[in-house]
């Protein structure tokens, strides 16, 4: 018979500074002391998705655990009246919760932490404090660094994620708490603005300057703080877990998704621990599925039910087995060092390392007759380097009409329409998008690992952005996004280049895909993906205070023999040499 499960609601957890957090505890009252699975959440412990989205507490209790789900300081049922800040302070509080859970009579004294997205932050922050009872963590879809792996990417502000997450996930409870404390009249303007932003997020994304966010006034100060601190600022260093990662002895199960907005942060955390060669280097495991930020399910135009089912695994069961191994000393089969879902062939692969040692960084060079604009142009992608001069490609970037975001690794309203491998055909009809496509492939081309583009750019703006997308083009013409990236080109770089091109390397993060016979490999190049990233205003610092400050730019991509622009893909050799593409890989483009 299944044991009776006791759920104790709003159990107090006193903190050293007098603040009291509230937890829900799930346990078998007839059992003796058991290991504890702890989730410290900003998303409401009474919300079904927060409680059951990653691990079902009832199933965990069935498997011999106690589950503790804690509302974060300043959120929902927990105390702390100061406005919630997503990163600051979570480490001390989470570490205190670990100590509390270990000391309870129903606890064996062994604690593991789990949770996705922002619920991964307190796991990395607790790892920095290393409470003695913490034995392992399982961070999903999250990052341990918050400038380059969360708020900013390639120097651009991740507007869509940062603003929509703040509006939809944080602001409503912050407004409720502020209203209860100060009265409705004190926050009526913010309440009105928040209702409008949730009703019309496009208008909220389009406001200038970026700091003009009345829906967050007085309730979410973190948003303007983030904008005030660019990547590399000491503000971020104070929150960084990098040094702790390099020295940790904790085993970590990293869970990432190809279409997850924190994929770069997930991979960086894994690689940091492995590269350090410390006590935990061989105790890491990495799983990468074809998942979005919203759910461990595959969204997008390419993903009907026939493609979702092969991606489904018992992620909950894998976690419970991991916790049993590291909290209870249970045996059982070991997870492989790395498990990745390979799109195109839609299958899981077990690997020994990340990145794959056998993958070769191979350039696919840009070619054209000077008219690569749109998918109807003459842009070509080939493993043959350019010989001699080639006419460059030029487009007009207008921040008043930016290239819209369509799918990919996003966190935007309406996830089914805005996340995952969406068809880019409509985007590629625009003249401000350069499109370079390979010939139809005669055999499969397997690409697993980090992806980047090396582009040579001339701009008439004082500074600008460059965006790049890797796309899988099907024989019927549909063009599905695999991964993308952005690079903010600074005024100093443009000035140093004079009249010549700036060499720009755009990090597209990573993918795992087999381009099937008859498909084509495609690179898109432009200067915007809005609202995923903020629009570069065409000004020296990239910002604008009003629409009239936005300045168009003439962008020229050079791809001749002296400036070989290329898409660099991690090609995995076929087991059968006869299946290899005919062309030999050239050397990666020189700096």
In whole angstroms, give the CA distance from residue 181 to residue 284. 45
Residue 582 falls inside a structural domain:
no
Do the beta carbons of residue 486 and residue 496 sit within 8 Å? no
pLDDT of 309 reads 53
294, 322, 351 - which closes a domain: 351
Phi, psi of 60 (to 5 degrees): -65, -40
Model pLDDT, residue 580: 44
- Are 205 and 336 members of one domain? no
CA 39 to chain centre: 20
Whether the CB-CB separation of 81 and 17 falls below 8 Å is answered with no
Residue 573 φ then ψ, to 5°: -60, 140
Report DSSP letters for 47-71, one per residue.
SHHHHHSS--HHHHHHTT-EEEEEE
Specify burial of residue 59 (Cβ count, 10 A radius: 0-12, 13-18, 19+): middle
Q: What is the CATH number of the domain that holds 288?
A: 3.40.50.1820
Position of tokens 């955390």? Answer: 269
Does 533 lie in the same domain as 410?
A: yes
Asked, for residue 389, whether it belongs to a domain, the answer is: yes
Tell me whether residue 584 is in a domain: no
DSSP 557-568: EE-SSSS--EEE
The sign of the torsion formed by the CA atoms of 337, 49, 126, 508 equals: positive
511-544 as b/e, with b when 16 or more CB fall inside 10 Å?
bbbbbeeebbbbbbbbbbbbbbbbbbbbbeebbb
Confidence (pLDDT) at 49: 76
Distance of CA 29 to the CA centre of its chain: 39
Residue 76: alpha-carbon gap to chain centroid: 26
532 touches 405 (CB < 8 A): yes
DSSP lists the bridge partners of residue 506 as 453
3-state secondary structure of 195: helix
Taking phi over 0 as left and psi of -120 to 50 as alpha, with beta for the rest, 312 belongs to: beta
Question: pLDDT by residue for the chain (591 residues), tens digit each?
Answer: 566 899 999 999 999 999 999 999 999 999 999 999 999 999 999 987 777 778 999 999 999 999 999 999 999 999 997 788 888 878 899 999 999 999 999 999 999 999 999 999 999 999 999 999 999 999 999 999 999 879 999 999 999 999 999 999 999 999 999 999 999 999 999 999 999 999 999 999 999 999 999 999 999 999 999 999 999 999 999 898 888 998 999 999 999 999 999 999 999 999 999 999 988 999 999 999 998 876 555 455 555 555 555 567 888 999 999 999 999 988 778 899 999 999 999 999 999 999 999 999 999 999 999 999 999 999 999 999 999 999 999 999 999 999 999 999 999 998 777 889 999 999 999 999 999 999 999 999 999 999 999 999 999 999 999 999 999 999 999 999 999 999 999 999 999 999 999 999 999 999 999 999 999 999 999 999 999 999 999 999 999 999 999 999 999 999 999 999 999 999 999 875 444 444 444 444 544
Residue 210 is given by DSSP the state T
Count: domains in the chain: 3
In 222-297 the beta strands, taken as DSSP E runs, fall at 252-259, 284-292
CB 471 within 8 A of CB 479: yes
Give the range of the structural domain holding residue 197, as residue numbers without chain letter. 159-229
Secondary structure class of 430 (helix, strand, coil) = coil
Using alpha carbons, list the distances in angstroms from residue 366 to 218, 396, 525: 49, 19, 11
Look at residue 52 and tell me if it is in a domain: yes
314 with 369, same domain: the answer is: no
- The CA angle 264-268-271, to the nearest 5 degrees, is 140
Is pTM beyond 0.85? Reply is yes
CATH number at residue 423: 2.60.120.260
- Of 209, 229, 249, the one marking the end of a domain is 229
Report d(CA 204, CA 212) in Å as an integer. 9
Domain assignment of residue 525, yes or no = yes
Q: Which two tokens stand for residue 554?
A: 């003439």
d(CA 222, CA 257): 26
Q: Pick from 351, 376, 394: which residue ends a domain?
A: 351
Burial grade of 586 (CB within 10 A; 0-12, 13-18, 19 or more): middle
Answer yes or no: is 345 within a domain.
Answer: yes
Residues 532 and 481 in one domain: yes
Q: Is residue 30 part of a domain?
A: yes
Pair 398, 534 in one domain? yes
E strand or H helix that includes residue 550: none
Tokens representing 391 are: 């006419």
Angle between helices 90-103 and 121-129 (to 10 degrees): 80
Residue 473's pLDDT is 98
Q: How far, CA to CA in Å, does 12 sit from each of 9, 97, 215, 409?
A: 9, 10, 32, 38
Residues 431 and 482 in one domain: yes
Q: Are residue 35 and residue 170 in the same domain, yes or no?
A: no
- CB within 8 A of 356, min separation 6: which ones? 448, 449, 570, 572
- Whole-number Å distance between alpha carbons of 445 and 429: 26
> Do 41 and 80 belong to one domain?
yes
**What phi, psi does 434 have (nearest 5°)?**
-85, 135
Contact (Cβ atoms closer than 8 angstroms) between residue 435 and residue 425? no
As beta bridge partners, residue 21 has 13
Give the tokens for residue 316.
Answer: 């909950």
Residue 277 falls inside a structural domain: yes
One domain, residues 380 and 409: yes
Same domain (yes/no): 140, 274: yes
Q: Are residues 500 and 374 in the same domain?
A: yes
Do residues 251 and 377 share a domain?
A: no
Q: How far is CA 105 from CA 26, 108, 255, 432, in A?
A: 14, 8, 31, 64
The tokens of 388 are what? 């001699």
């Amino acid at each position: 018979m299944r044991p009776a499960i006791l759920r104790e609601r709003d159990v107090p957890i006193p903190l050293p500074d007098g603040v009291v957090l509230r937890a829900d505890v799930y346990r078998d009252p007839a059992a003796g002391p058991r290991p504890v699975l702890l989730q410290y959440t900003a998303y409401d412990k009474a919300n079904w998705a927060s409680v059951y989205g990653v691990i079902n507490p009832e199933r965990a209790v069935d498997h011999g655990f106690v589950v503790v789900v804690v509302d974060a300081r300043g959120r929902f049922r927990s105390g702390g009246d100061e406005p919630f800040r997503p990163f600051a302070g979570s480490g001390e509080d989470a570490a205190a919760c670990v100590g509390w859970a270990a000391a309870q009579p129903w606890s064996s004294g062994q604690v593991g932490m789990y949770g996705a997205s922002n619920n991964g932050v307190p796991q990395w922050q607790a790892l920095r404090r290393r409470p003695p009872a913490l034995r392992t963590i399982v961070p999903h879809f999250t990052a341990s660094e918050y400038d380059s792996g969360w708020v900013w990417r390639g120097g651009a502000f991740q507007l869509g994620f940062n603003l929509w997450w703040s509006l939809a996930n944080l602001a409503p409870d912050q407004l409720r708490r502020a209203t209860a404390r100060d009265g409705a009249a004190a926050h009526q303007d913010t309440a009105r603005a928040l209702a409008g932003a949730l009703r019309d997020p496009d208008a909220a994304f389009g406001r200038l300057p970026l700091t003009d966010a009345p829906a967050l006034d007085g309730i979410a100060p973190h948003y303007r703080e983030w904008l005030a601190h660019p990547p590399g600022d000491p503000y971020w260093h104070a929150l960084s877990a990098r040094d702790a990662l390099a020295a940790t002895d904790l085993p970590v199960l990293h869970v990432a998704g190809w279409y997850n907005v924190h994929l770069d942060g997930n991979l960086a955390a894994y690689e940091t621990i492995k590269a350090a060669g410390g006590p935990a280097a061989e105790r890491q495991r990495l799983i990468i599925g074809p998942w979005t930020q919203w759910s461990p399910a595959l969204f997008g135009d390419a993903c009907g039910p026939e493609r979702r089912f092969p991606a489904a695994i018992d992620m909950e069961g894998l976690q419970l087995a991991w916790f049993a191994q590291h909290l209870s000393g249970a045996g059982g089969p070991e997870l492989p060092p790395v498990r990745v879902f390979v799109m195109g062939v839609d299958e899981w692969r077990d690997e020994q390392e990340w990145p794959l040692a056998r993958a070769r960084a191979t350039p696919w060079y840009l070619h054209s007759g000077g008219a690569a604009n749109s998918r109807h142009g003459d842009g070509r992608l080939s493993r043959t380097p350019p010989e001699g001069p080639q006419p460059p490609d030029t487009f007009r970037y207008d921040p008043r009409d930016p290239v819209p975001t369509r799918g990919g690794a996003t966190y935007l309203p309406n996830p089914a329409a805005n996340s995952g491998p969406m068809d880019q055909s409509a985007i590629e009809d625009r003249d401000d998008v350069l499109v370079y496509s390979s010939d139809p492939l005669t055999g499969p081309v397997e690409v697993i690992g980090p992806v980047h583009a090396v582009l040579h750019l001339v701009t008439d703006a004082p500074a600008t952005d460059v965006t790049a997308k890797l796309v899988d083009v099907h024989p019927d013409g549909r063009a599905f996004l695999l991964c993308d990236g952005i690079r903010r080109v600074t005024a100093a770089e443009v000035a140093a280049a004079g009249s010549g091109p700036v060499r720009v390397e755009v990090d597209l993060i990573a993918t795992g895909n087999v381009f099937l016979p008859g498909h084509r490999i495609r690179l898109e190049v432009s200067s915007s993906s809005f609202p995923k990233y903020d629009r570069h205003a065409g000004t020296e610092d990239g910002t604008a205070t009003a629409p009239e400050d936005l300045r168009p730019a003439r962008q020229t991509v050079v791809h001749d023999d002296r400036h070989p622009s290329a898409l660099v893909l991690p090609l995995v050799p076929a087991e059968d040499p006869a299946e290899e593409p005919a062309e030999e890989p050239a050397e990666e483009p020189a700096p």
